[in-house]
Amino acid sequence: MSAPSTTPANLNDDELQNLASEWRIRAMQGDQLAHRMAQALEAEQRRRIRDTGLQTLPPAASSMYLRKTPWWEVLVSTIDFGIGLALLSLFGATFLSNLLAYFRDKARVVDPITREARELLMRESAAPVPDCPTLSPAHWAQLEAMQPSWRKPAMRSARKRYDAARSAYARHDFNGELYYPNPARVAEAAHEVLRMTERF
């Protein structure tokens, strides 16, 4: 058997297979030239098989594993996203509320007159007594100064109702002590002024 006169790339598939088989048989009998020829022909066979396999592959090898997502998985993922968004919103609102409360309390700490006024108002709204300590002119001046311009008329109205409620006291006939015939009115007026001290 003589070596092929053409290169392996010029042979058709049948000729290449026949020649590769023949040269491999001779190589197994110890012929070194036949061994090299068989290797060359078999390498060409492998190249053609590889190229043919690449051409017949689908565009995406993973597409055969793709499946249609069930409707319930889409629903669950949407609900999960909604729950996460709701929790994030809740966290943000809580954080903002705490931040505002922190700055409000800090403002009260650095303003002892406002803090003292709030303590007097809270005490009076809890247990109205005619002769208990009340707000001084300095307290009123500070409370009115801290009001924005749009809330100053409401503050003046609250102060008038507070003064009117505090002045509506009576005296017991048998012991002469002062008391409020309608303590809820005083408590409500004090609470209204207390609300006006809120900065936020």
Residue range 118-162, pLDDT digits in tens: 888 998 888 888 888 888 999 999 888 888 888 889 999 999 999
Give the Cα-Cα-Cα angle 42, 44, 50 (nearest 5 degrees): 105
- Residues in a beta bridge with 178: 171
pLDDT at 1: 47
**Nearest-5° Cα angle at 50, 49 to 52:** 65
Please state, in angstroms and as integers, the Cα–Cα distance from residue 96 to each residue in 11, 43, 83, 178, 200, following that order: 80, 72, 20, 46, 12
Structure tokens at 198: 């809120």
Q: Nearest to residue 200, comparing CAs of 94, 93, 90, 97?
A: 97
Chain position carrying tokens 């006939």: 173
Quote the CA–CA distance of 196 and 190 in Å, as a whole number. Answer: 10
pLDDT of residue 61: 47
* pLDDT at residue 175, rounded to an integer: 78
CA distance 115 to 194: 11
User: What is the Cα–Cα distance from 177 to 37, expressed in whole angstroms?
Assistant: 129
Q: Which amino acid does the sequence have at 84?
A: G
Give residue 158's pLDDT.
92
Q: Smallest Cα–Cα separation from 46: which of 2, 75, 8, 80?
A: 8
Residue with tokens 């060359």, as numbered in its chain: 40
Q: What is the pLDDT of residue 55?
A: 52
Residue ranges for the chain with pLDDT beneath 50: 1-4, 57, 61-64, 200
Closest among 149, 138, 141, 157 to 195, alpha carbons compared: 157
Angle ∠(81,82,87) on CA atoms, nearest 5 = 100
Evaluate whether 13 touches 48 at the Cβ level (below 8 Å): yes
Residues 6+ apart with CB under 8 A from 144: 152, 155, 156
